[in-house]
């Protein structure tokens, strides 16, 4: 290619670049003109105002549904409370077991609230079938994540079926917590300890552990260990203790109370005392008799020795 042809190509490229730059310059100048800027701002403001108007119209149109939802919610709460009250009174009238009563009331309450939620969703115009499908997936995921809660629910069912304890029973669980059963719920059993503390035990753990039920028995045995001095007469001490036990009407004579030597300890002869009483008299009898036995032994001059140890000091002279 000759030099003239190269110069012509370069000139054409320069001319095209110049035309392009001039076109861009004109576009920018037109964009920054006051009238064009004003038109752009007006258009954006109008779009924003139209969006607000659409939102306000939708909100106004949905007011009847919102009001209806609130009214349905209030009426639903009232109806649920009324139904639960009627069912509770029927349970009491027919003497339904208290343990089963609380468990069934929890399930019925849960079902009624689910029905109320579905009615509210349907009132808002949403598809209940789609929501139920989504809920089933959510329930499955939650069930996998909350396997412990499901085991507690199953434990509650087992407790109600096999009845190792009931509402009002005094029990002790495997962890050593004892108290009176107040309520057997869907997931937890609530206890009130003797010191007034509220304890919630998972049903799953209760159903799969050792439970001591102190209310299923008619009588209960209490036991003391008392030491007397080696110089005291064992028969006299046994006779005094036995008289205290037989003179108290709360102590049952069948099985017969027992007083026997349990151990020849370092500082005392240890006597074991066993007697039976009704379960409702257990604590009062156990606490009162311990004081009475101590007073009776004191009157007879029989000592209850405290631990003691003899020490022999050997001097250097004694060694010689």
Continuous segment of H or E residues that includes residue 267: none
Nearest Cα to Cα of residue 292 among 254, 247, 261: 247
Q: Does position 67 have pLDDT exceeding 80, yes or no?
A: no
> Which residue is it, tokens 């009162």?
288
Tell me which of 26-35, 52-61, 148-157, 202-211 is least confident: 26-35
If phi > 0 it is left, if psi is from -120 to 50 it is alpha, else beta; for residue 184 that is beta
Please write down the long-range contacts of 251-260, taking CB distance under 8 Å and 24 or more positions apart.
251/275, 251/276, 251/277, 251/285, 251/289, 252/219, 252/276, 252/277, 252/278, 255/221
In tens, the pLDDT along 208-265 reads 888 888 888 888 999 989 888 888 889 999 999 999 998 888 999 888 899 999 888 8
More confident residue, 298 or 17: 298
Helix, strand, or coil (residue 226) = strand
- Give the pLDDT confidence score for residue 310 in this predicted structure: 66
* pTM > 0.85: no
Integer Cα distance of 77 and 72 in angstroms:
8
Count Cα neighbours of 263 within 13 Å in the Cβ-side half-sphere.
9
Q: Does position 84 have pLDDT exceeding 90, yes or no?
A: no
Report CA-CA distances (Å) from 132 to 59, 77, 111, 115, 124.
Answer: 26, 22, 14, 11, 15
Q: What percent of the chain has pLDDT over 70?
A: 66
- Give the pLDDT confidence score for residue 145 in this predicted structure: 47
Q: How far is CA 252 from the centre of its chain?
A: 41
> Which residue is it, tokens 């045995």?
221
**DSSP conformation letters of 131-188:** HHHHHHHHHHHHHHHTHHHHHHHHHHHHHHHH-S--TT-EEE-TTS-EEEEEEE-SSE
- Give the pLDDT confidence score for residue 240 in this predicted structure: 92
Integer Cα distance of 101 and 283 in angstroms:
30
In which band, very low, low, confident or very high, does the pLDDT at 195 lie, cut at 50, 70 and 90?
A: confident
In tens, the pLDDT along 159-191 reads 877 888 888 888 888 888 888 988 888 788 889
**Do the Cβ atoms of 140 and 154 come closer than 8 Å?**
no
Integer Cα distance of 103 and 163 in angstroms:
13
Nearest Cα to Cα of residue 224 among 264, 260, 172: 260
- Give the pLDDT confidence score for residue 9 in this predicted structure: 46
């Amino acid at each position: 290619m000759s030099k003239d042809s190269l110069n012509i190509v370069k000139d054409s490229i320069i001319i095209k670049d110049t035309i392009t730059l001039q076109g861009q310059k004109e576009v920018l100048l037109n964009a920054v003109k006051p009238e064009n800027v004003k038109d752009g701002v007006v258009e954006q403001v109008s779009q924003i105002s139209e969006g607000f108007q659409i939102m306000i119209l939708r909100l106004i149109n949905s007011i009847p549904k919102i009001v209806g939802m609130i009214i349905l919610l209030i009426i639903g709460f009232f109806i649920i409370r009324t139904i639960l009250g009627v069912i509770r009174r029927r349970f009491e009238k027919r003497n339904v077991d208290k343990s089963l009563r609380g468990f069934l009331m929890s399930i019925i309450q849960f079902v009624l609230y689910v029905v109320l939620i579905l009615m509210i969703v349907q009132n808002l115009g949403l598809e209940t079938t789609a929501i139920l499908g989504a809920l089933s997936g959510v329930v499955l995921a939650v069930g996998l994540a909350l396997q412990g809660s499901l085991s507690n629910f199953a434990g509650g069912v087992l407790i109600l079926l096999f009845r190792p304890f009931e509402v009002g029973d005094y029990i002790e669980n495997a962890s050593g917590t004892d108290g009176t059963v107040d309520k057997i719920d869907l997931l937890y059993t609530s206890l009130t300890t003797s010191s007034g503390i509220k304890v919630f035990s998972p049903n799953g753990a209760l159903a799969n552990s050792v439970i001591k039920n102190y209310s299923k028995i008619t009588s209960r045995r209490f036991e003391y260990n008392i030491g007397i001095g080696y110089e005291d007469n064992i028969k006299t001490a046994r006779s005094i203790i036995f008289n205290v036990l037989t003179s108290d009407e709360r102590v049952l004579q069948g099985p017969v109370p027992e007083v026997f030597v349990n151990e020849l300890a370092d500082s005392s002869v240890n006597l074991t005392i066993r007697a039976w009483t009704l379960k409702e008299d257990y604590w009062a009898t156990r606490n009162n008799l311990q004081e009475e036995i101590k007073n009776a032994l004191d009157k007879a001059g029989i000592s209850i020795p405290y631990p003691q140890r003899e020490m022999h000091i050997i001097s250097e002279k004694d060694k010689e």
